[in-house]
């Protein structure tokens, strides 16, 4: 469900000093983006919310906020875009309903084949025993 729109009032951004590429620049400029999304303002259905909570894992706080930190790039804009893209991808994954598992049973022929293979293997192993002299 790629057409889900994330409302701006549910998001808050802050920029912090990042480790990684940038040389001396990383000590001076706050380029890493920390994106916080209030999940309750998204208006998700209960099953989508449960899947989102499962997918987010430790990125979700007890207060119902998802925290995503992007520090891959050297500019605020690029890190902001990456954080928003990761959030959108996470929410899109939560909207995908998993396929139900259908129970299956082995066929009678498959059961017979398995038993025959076991008997054959057992007879091979039985033939490896000590040789008895009569």
Contact 60, 39 (CB under 8 A): yes
Q: Which of 1-5, 49-53, 123-127 has the lowest mean pLDDT?
A: 1-5
pLDDT class of 21 with cuts at 50, 70, 90: low
Residue 16 domain-assigned? Answer: yes
Q: What is the pLDDT of residues 107-130, one digit of tens each?
A: 999 999 999 999 999 999 988 877
Residue 85 domain-assigned? Answer: yes
Q: Which of 53, 41, 127, 55 is nearest to 89 (CA)?
A: 55
> What's the rounded Cα separation, in Å, for the pair 78 and 82?
6
Identify the CATH number of the domain in which residue 67 sits.
3.30.160.20
| Whole-number pLDDT of residue 124 | 92
Residue 123 domain-assigned? Answer: no
Residue 84 domain-assigned? Answer: yes
Q: Which residue has the higher pLDDT, 4 or 12?
A: 12
> Tokens 């987010």, residue?
56
Residue 79 domain-assigned? Answer: yes
| Whole-number pLDDT of residue 100 | 92
Residue 100 domain-assigned? Answer: no
- Domains in the chain, number: 1
Please report the DSSP string for 56-117 in residue order. HGGGB-TTSEEEEEE-SSSSHHHHHHHHHHHHHHHHHHHHSPPPPPPP----HHHHHHHHHH
Give me the mean pLDDT over the 28-53 stretch: 84
Query: Structural domain of residue 74, as residue ranges?
Result: 8-95
Residue 3 domain-assigned? Answer: no
Q: Which of 88, 84, 91 is nearest to 34 (CA)?
A: 84
Residue 125 domain-assigned? Answer: no
């Amino acid at each position: 469900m790629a057409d889900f729109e994330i409302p701006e009032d549910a998001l808050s951004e802050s920029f912090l000093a990042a480790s990684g590429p940038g040389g001396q620049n990383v000590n001076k400029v706050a380029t890493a983006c920390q994106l916080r999304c209030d999940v309750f303002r998204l208006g998700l259905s209960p099953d989508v919310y449960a899947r989102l909570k499962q997918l987010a894992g430790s990125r979700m706080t007890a207060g119902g906020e998802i925290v995503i930190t992007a520090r891959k790039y050297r500019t605020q804009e690029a890190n902001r875009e990456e954080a928003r893209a990761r959030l959108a991808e996470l929410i899109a994954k939560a909207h995908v309903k998993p396929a139900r598992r259908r129970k299956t049973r082995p066929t009678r022929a498959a059961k017979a084949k398995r038993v025959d293979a076991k008997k054959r293997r057992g007879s091979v192993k039985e033939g490896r025993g000590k040789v008895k002299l009569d």
